[in-house]
Amino acid sequence: MRPLIEQIDKTRLPKHIAIIMDGNGRWAEEKGQERLYGHFHGVESVRNIVEGCAELGVEYLTLYAFSNENWDRPRTEVDGLMALLVDTIRKEVPILNKNNIRMHMIGNMEMLPDSAQKALQEAIALTGHNTGLNLIMALSYSSRWELVNAVKKIGMDVKAGRIDPETIDQNTVEHYLTTSNFPDPELMIRTSGEYRISNFLLYQLAYAELYFTNTRWPDFRKENLYEAIIDFQFRERRFGKTGKQIQKEAHLTS
């Protein structure tokens, strides 16, 4: 068998991959350890997958690291995760710069502890000039929070006379989302055998291909990523049209 990486068609890579990094807690518990031990090991997977995407030439990678709902977890887990976040971001900045990776953040920044806000703002500023992979961290993020905020801002701009409600279309809505600078994900991966979206990019995933794997996040490595991309490349993306139409279009452009 040819190595997986060679089976990937580099001309048809998903431009944007989004990942729900799930299963850290169970991974640890299965080893008789505390849940935080799983989060700690999950960082190694983040490094490996970020590097894998950068090497392949994927343009955007969004990682769902902490949801708005995750604030309801036990205090020790939340505090441990925030400390790990600050520590990891600080350590990773030189590596991001070395690999030409630019960091972004989507989510409710104000909810994060000051130390995490500071570390994030620094990392975003220090990597702002990079032109390779765009790494988008979803932190204290939830899609409904984002949509409610967008509606609120649109309402305020209508009230202030900055936009005419008659002209509101999809472009307007997209402009008010936290992802306004990024294209929609084409491939969404969720690890750990859960088959749900958990309040992640509900609007933006409208036509994403969904890929679910039982592998827990701390075990997820480049080879698993390659498998997901190969699977993606076998899908027929129809966008509402018929298979026949899509095949004809592919024939005309090839």
Binding site for ligand IPE (CB under 6 A): 20-26, 64-67, 70, 81, 192, 194, 196, 198
What does 20 bind: ligand IPE, Mg ion, none (CB cut-off 5 to 8 Å by kind)?
A: ligand IPE
Ranked by CB distance to Mg ion, the top (closest) residue is 22
Identify which of residues 24 and 224 has a Cβ nearer to ligand IPE in the complex: 24
Structure tokens at 118: 């500071």
Residue of 22, 24, 134, 224 with catalytic role: 22
For residues 95-134, which are near Mg ion according to CB under 5 A?
Answer: none
What does 172 bind: ligand IPE, Mg ion, none (CB cut-off 5 to 8 Å by kind)?
A: none
Give min distance, CB of 201 to Mg ion, in A: 17
x/- track of binding to Mg ion for residues 20-59 (CB under 5 A): --x-------------------------------------
- Rounded-to-integer distance, Cα 110 and Cα 243, Å: 46
Active-site residue flag, 169: no
Active-site residue flag, 22: yes
Identify which of residues 67 and 178 has a Cβ nearer to Mg ion in the complex: 67
Give min distance, CB of 216 to Mg ion, in A: 10
Which backbone phi and psi does 17 adopt, to 5 degrees?
-110, 135
Give min distance, CB of 103 to Mg ion, in A: 24
Identify which of residues 16 and 190 has a Cβ nearer to Mg ion in the complex: 190
Check residue 67 for interaction with Mg ion (CB under 5 A): no
Residue of 70, 97, 108, 130 with catalytic role: 70
Residues with catalytic function: 22, 70
Interface contacts to Mg ion, rule CB under 5 A: 22
